[in-house]
Chains A and B, each alone.
Chain A
Amino acid sequence: MLASAVVIYMLVSILYLYAAVGERWNLVVSALFDSRVLGAIVISISSALIVGALAIAAAIPSAYLLAYKSFRGKGALETFLIDLPQTFPPVTEGLVYLLMFGRIGLAYTYAAVLIAKFYVSAPFAISFATRRFREVRESGLDVIARTLGAKTSHVLSRILLPLSSRDLLAGFSLTWARAMGELAATLVFAGAIPWRTEAIPTLVYLTAAEKPEVAIAASVIAETLSIVALLLFRWIARKGS
């Protein structure tokens, strides 16, 4: 009973937006040709893709460190890399970046969008990679590879990465989705300059009161993009296995 209620709650949360659009689909289509909306879509997708790629690049050495190395404070480091960014208020993080990087001219730039989104999104990729690297370590396959003469670079390129490709893709897709939806840190640190730093969430936030039809149209586009992208990533992962 409770499970059904949860399922209904989740479904309604996703589908209600489409119901709200109703027969006004022409609004969504015309929003696609609105320069400001188009700019927000481009900024959102491109920054989320770059953040996803950077997160994977950061996740591989971080996961190796957490899975294979023993050192004092490892638990604290893991909390710092994975748990804290997911619980830390994004708006506060945006303010931290504004104070830290504002004086060197990074605020209100495309780089600011990437920096803000990376902090809150990358933990997904690091978490997925760390979990999988630990599974491989427990299987002992890396020890066998080393007895055969493999160095760390061989273990990474020939064992860990091929055996973790699905998990890395899953980490990438969740990082991408989280980066697509990030609002507070981006708004505070990067602002909302059309075609420069304004992403879909900031556009929705800024237009919801004055131009609700634009906000709804942009939301439908963002939600559809997220669903399609997640299905695509899953399909690629299934095909890869």
Chain B
Amino acid sequence: MKGLVVQGISKSYGNIKALDRLELTVNPAEFMAVMGPSGCGKTTLLLAILGVLKPDEGHIWIDGKDIDELPLDERNIGYVPQDFGLFPHLDVYENIAFGLRVRKHAEAKIRDKVRELLLIVDLGGMEERKPKELSAGQRQRVALARALATGPSVLLLDEPLSSIDEATKGEVRANLKEIQKKTNVTTLCVTHNPEDSFQLGERIAIMYSGKIIQCDTPQGILDNPKTDLVRKLVAPMYILWNRTGPL
């Protein structure tokens, strides 16, 4: 099947089970938010999908292909970490072009692709700026453009709004969703913030103690929380969601 399928993966650190036979399916072009409190295993899930750590059991499939044995550089996954991870010694253009250069694309193709992405993320004219000369929102858009440049099968976002100040968060969130819609890339975003997950995710997977305890649309979760724990975790949204609704 197309999209991202996580099938029964587990990972333990000593006696602590960070992932416990976790099951998750992200449909092609879907924006899936994984929401859960700190320490529930969200980061471990991302690292397992990326290939940074090897699960103790289970399988991960991307577009129908088992990627368990593939090294990091062959998984074709776009990744935007919490701090955006821009290469500080490279300007905006070279950051976005990085993946294309190491894959030995022709210079003309690199130029066209970077220009196209700069337009998508609305950063035209900033090609020569270094990361330290950009705002947090701009840095995030560069990181997104860089992750999308190589045409990834899946995009992974780690707490994408945690470094953004409250005043601009709404705008950045809207941009993020718009860029994902434009590029149609299958996206998995982990966050501890209920509002971010409800505003970004077409579906939300609620994670707790290394498991997905409910996966549904935002409205579905509010209408039918499976357990009291789910109700408690999304409690702020009963007021916020009814007031603001989706973006």
Contacts and interface: CB of A to CB of B under 8 A. Distances in A.
B and A form one assembly: yes
B85 A139 contact: yes
B134 interface: no
Contacts of A145: 87, 98, 102
Interface residues of B, number: 24
Contact of A158 (B79, B102, B149): B102
Nearest to A152: B73
Contacts of B50: 143, 147
A11 interface: no
A154 B72 contact: no
A241 to B, nearest CB: 10
B87 A159 contact: yes
Top 4 nearest A-B pairs (CB, nearest first) are A148-B99, A146-B72, A147-B79, A144-B85
Interface of A: 139-141, 143-151, 154, 158-159, 162-163
Which secondary structure dominates chain B's binding surface? mixed
A147 B102 contact: no
Contacts of A150: 73, 98-99, 102
B8 interface: no
A64 to B, nearest CB: 16
Contacts of B98: 145, 148, 150, 158
Which secondary structure dominates chain A's binding surface? helix
A154 B102 contact: yes
B72 A151 contact: no
Contact of A163 (B89, B99, B101, B103): B89
B89 A147 contact: no
A127 to B, nearest CB: 22
Contact of B79 (A139, A144, A159, A162): A144
Contacts of A146: 71-73
Contacts of A149: 73-74, 99, 102-103, 150
28 contacts: A139-B85, A141-B85, A143-B50, A143-B72, A143-B79, A144-B87, A145-B87, A145-B98, A146-B72, A147-B50, A147-B73, A147-B75, A147-B147, A148-B146, A148-B149, A149-B73, A149-B74, A149-B99, A149-B102, A149-B150, A150-B73, A150-B98, A150-B99, A150-B102, A151-B73, A151-B102, A154-B102, A159-B87
Nearest to A153: B102
A148 B150 contact: yes
Given A143-B50, A150-B99, A162-B89, 12 more contacts: A140-B81, A140-B85, A143-B72, A144-B81, A146-B71, A148-B73, A149-B102, A150-B98, A150-B102, A151-B73, A154-B102, A163-B89
Interface string B99-121: 10111000000000000000000
